[in-house]
Copies of this chain bind each other. A is one copy, B any other.
Amino acid sequence: MNKRLLLAGLAFALGAGVTHTALAQVKPEILVKQRQAAMTLQAKYIGPLVGMAQGKIPYNADTVAMNAALLDALSRMPWDGFAPASKDATVKNAALPAVWSEPAKFKQAQENFQNAVQALVKVSRGGDEAAQKAAIGGVGKACGGCHENFREKQ
């Protein structure tokens, strides 16, 4: 890691057509595996921040900044894994039928989460601990808000 800079600032200009062309070649089971991998890593990096916000882990501004940057990337990764082809995957997964029967609502839940992560990224660059903890709470709420309607109860 070595305190390197996370290079980025890239504009996302991915054409929808390109995404779909690539997805058409991906097996449903792989789509499930990939989206679950993104969820696993989101939990890895939001978990310690939630612990900080709840006062269970000592607050560390560097960890907030790093994890926010990684969540910025991760928050973009799960969604194409819910492509229609993945609906019939034969591997165990917790996605509810509402993912596909209520696409507008699911899309809104994704955007709520991504917006909450962006809000965290913004405040993670300053040193305002209270604002950061509030933004962490916002991300946690957005996670739960999506899981409430679109994931089987765990």
Chain A residues with CB under 8 Å of chain B are 1-15, 18, 22, 33-34, 36-38, 40-41, 44, 48, 57, 60, 62-63, 65-66, 68-70, 72-74, 76-77, 79, 114, 118, 121-122, 124-125
B1 engages A5 (CB within 8 Å): no
Residues of B within 8 A of A125 (CB): 10
Overall SS of chain A's interface: helix
Residue in B3, B15, B38 whose CB lies within 8 Å of A41: B38
Residue in B15, B40, B63, B79 whose CB lies within 8 Å of A14: B63
A59 to B2, CA, bound (A): 33
A88 to B91, CA, bound (A): 27
B76 engages A1 (CB within 8 Å): yes
Residues of B within 8 A of A8 (CB): 6-9, 69, 72, 121
A6 engages B72 (CB within 8 Å): yes
Question: Given known contacts A6-B9, A76-B1, is B40 in contact with A44 (CB within 8 Å)?
Answer: no
A8 to B118, CA, bound (A): 10
